[in-house]
Structure 1
Amino acid sequence: MAAPCLAALLLFSYLPLLGWAIAFFDYKPGYKLLDSQFTGFKYFILAFQDPEFAAVLRNTLAISFLGLLASPLAVVFAMFLNEMRLGKVKKFIQTTTTLPNFISWVLVYALCYIMFSTGDGMVNKLLLHLNWISAPLNPLANPDIVWLFQTGVLIWKTLGFTAIIYIASIAGIDQEQYDAAAVDGAGRFGKMLHITLPGIIPTFITLLLLNIGSLLSNGFEQFYLFNNGLVQSKIQVLDLYVYRIGISQNNYPMSTALGMTKTIVSITLLMTANLISKKLRDQSIF
């Protein structure tokens, strides 16, 4: 039963690693790799010396750290959702907050454009009608708020789905602990603080470690769709930069070198965070 899974893992996760060899050759599509000139670490050096690389790394880390800071929101949301007693309202909230996770980024961008465009945007029309603003807002083309705006869109899309993981973790907490706390006079907030929260901390730590390992991987679709000439200096993250170097500029060795470096750094970050967690809390993911 495990054979198909192992085959898929080898085929899609390990076999493509052979392509890392492109980073060490002056490779051109249509030619055999061994017929290309060996360049050593030339493209690694060129990648790090690129004037854009510093800005791209800044954008990547800034958006990733904002995502890490927002990660406790799913914990709080799951805890309060679990405490709701009205079943129909609880299901409605859980459904409406989980649904965005299954919407493609293309539709998310279309929705944001309908909501926030300067011409016929619903938000601008409402705020102008209420006289709360004197001129239309344009968050889709404002480089000063692009990090916060993209983080907000990501939270809206993933909050409900991430909360499902914590709700499942809450379901695994021994109910007798709540009964004992009630006998001792603990209220609902007391139970949440002293039983529910400690019960889901291990799950939170596990997801946090995985997120730390993905600091350099913000994703591609979101930033590719929301990218435009006005915000490119703040929205171009590493995944988008690798795509532009490889596909748009046909510099496959340099894009491979960047992707290879990103993978090695991500593994190092994950191992380091896991080691620190094991030392401090005696808890790790492997």
Structure 2
Amino acid sequence: MLTDQVKEYLLPNLFNAAVRAGAAIMKVYKNRDDYDISLKSDRTPITVADRLAHETIKDYLGQTRIPILSEEGREMGFDERCNWELFLLVDPLDGTVEFIKGNNEFTVNIALMENNVCAGAVVYVPYFEKMYVAWRGEGAYLKEHVKPTPDSAYSYRHVVEEQRRLPLEEARHEGFRVAVSRSHQTPETAEHIRMLRQARPDLKIVEQGSSYKFCLLAEGIVDYYVRTSPTYEWDTAAGELILSEAGGETRSLPDNRPFAYNKTDLHNPWFVCRSRDCAL
């Protein structure tokens, strides 16, 4: 179990790394001609912003000497990482497709994994200057007006001051809101929603990119999220803890199991998420 002293050291490091990565992303975001878009081996896009964010996080968090498993880092076999007791699971720019489209729905995800369970997490939404923070067993929080600055140096005290605990009271709403991926919907998603609509005729679809969907669930703005297209562990680890610490849950589909991390294959199963007050 991580001590309070370790938390007070590591949490500002995660926070500042995400903010600095967000600054690198936003610098590129303002210059569309400089995106330098290419395709990775799995046919997903990567931009210069992904690479810069990765390098920023790797350089800043190197001081912790904790291994980093990053979407944009070198490929690490299971034999290399299977015995890690503590590591950082990172998506430097989650929502690259949304970044390329210019719709502002992209995040920086950093999860601190202890014995393959997420112990601490930050999800930063640089365009909206929103930082979501969670620590296992201690709740999830939103800190607003966090500007993407390349020399971010928040202390622990500055990280925790003016945070608001999730979910937010003002997020309460009528009806049943279901989040879906803006760019990765499938026929299975449509069928799942058709079945949901039979139980909840008041269902309203909310399209959203990146792990920001987990954050909207944690806030209480949406009630449910279904995903039936490919994701990786770095897409979900940080957001899952933030949602869990806000009283929600993430379960695999269709077998309704909790997620496992640091698997031989880093792909996730299909899944559904529910907010704390989800009635379905």
Q: TM-score, normalised by structure 1?
A: 0.26
Structure with bigger gyration radius: 1
Structure with the larger helix share: 1
Instruction: Give the structure with the higher percent strand.
Output: 2
Q: Structure 2-normalised TM-score?
A: 0.26
Q: Relative contact order (alpha carbons < 8 A, sep ≥ 6): 1 or 2 greater?
A: 1
